[in-house]
C-alpha cells in the first residue's frame, strides 16, 4: 500500500497505477496522449502488428514541429517532405 501522507505526485500516480511488474515498474493508465508529426514511427509499428488505436478520443494529433509559420496552406510548405509528414499525421489520425 502507499505511504501516508501523500504528495500531489503520489496521489496522481496511485490513482493511475493499474498494477506492478516483478521489475518494480508500474502500469499506468494514460488519460491524454498528444501526437505530433514524428508519431509516424509509432503508427507504423501499430500497422505492422495490425493493431488499432485503443482510445481514439483520448488521443489528440496536432502538427507543430514541421509546419510553416508563413501560413497554413500546402503552398506555404517549402519542403515537400514536411508536407508529407503533415499529411501522414492527418491520415494516421483519421
Partner 1 sequence: MGLNDSRRGIVHVVGPEQGLSLPGMTIVCGDSHTATHGAMGALAFGIGASDVSHVLATQTLWQPRPKSMRVNITGRRAPHVSAKDIILTVIRNLGASGGTGHVIEYAGPVISNLSVEERLTVCNMSIEAGARAGMMAPDDKLINWIAGKSFAPCGKNWDKALTNWRVLKSDPDAIFDKEKTIDSKDIIPMVTWGTSPEDALPINEKIPDPNSEPEQKKRNIMSEKLEYMGLKPEQALTDIKIDRVFIGSCTNSRIDDLRAAAVAKGRRAAVPAMVVPGSAAVSKQAKQEGIDRIFINAGFDWRPAAGCSMCVGVNGDVVPPGQRCVSTSNRNFRGRQGPRARTHLVGPAMAAAAAVTGKISDVRAFEAR
CB of 25 to partner 1, least distance (A): 5
CB of 91 to partner 1, least distance (A): 11
CB of 56 to partner 1, least distance (A): 9
List phi, psi (to 5°) of 18: -85, -45
**Closest to partner 1 by CB, 1 or 9:** 9
In the chain, what is the straight-line distance between the N-terminal and C-terminal CA atoms, in Å?
41
For the chain, what is the radius of gyration of the CA atoms? 19
CB of 84 to partner 1, least distance (A): 13
Q: Can you give the binding site for partner 1, defined by CB under 8 A?
A: 3-13, 15-16, 18, 21, 24-36, 38-39, 41-43, 45-46, 49, 51-55, 58-73, 76, 78-79, 82, 86, 90
Longest Cα separation, the chain: 58
Contact, 63 vs 48, CB < 8 A?
no
**Closest to partner 1 by CB, 1 or 24:** 24
Mention every residue, 6+ apart, whose C-beta is less than 8 A from residue 50: none
Amino acid at each position: 500500500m502507499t505511504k501516508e501522507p501523500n504528495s500531489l505526485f503520489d496521489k496522481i500516480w496511485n490513482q493511475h497505477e493499474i498494477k506492478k511488474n516483478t521489475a518494480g515498474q508500474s502500469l499506468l493508465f494514460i488519460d491524454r496522449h498528444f501526437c505530433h508529426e514524428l508519431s509516424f514511427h509509432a503508427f507504423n509499428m501499430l500497422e505492422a502488428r495490425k493493431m488499432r488505436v485503443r482510445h481514439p478520443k483520448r488521443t489528440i494529433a496536432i502538427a507543430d514541429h514541421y509546419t510553416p509559420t508563413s501560413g497554413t496552406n500546402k503552398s506555404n510548405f517549402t519542403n515537400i517532405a514536411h508536407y508529407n509528414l503533415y499529411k501522414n499525421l492527418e491520415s494516421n489520425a483519421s
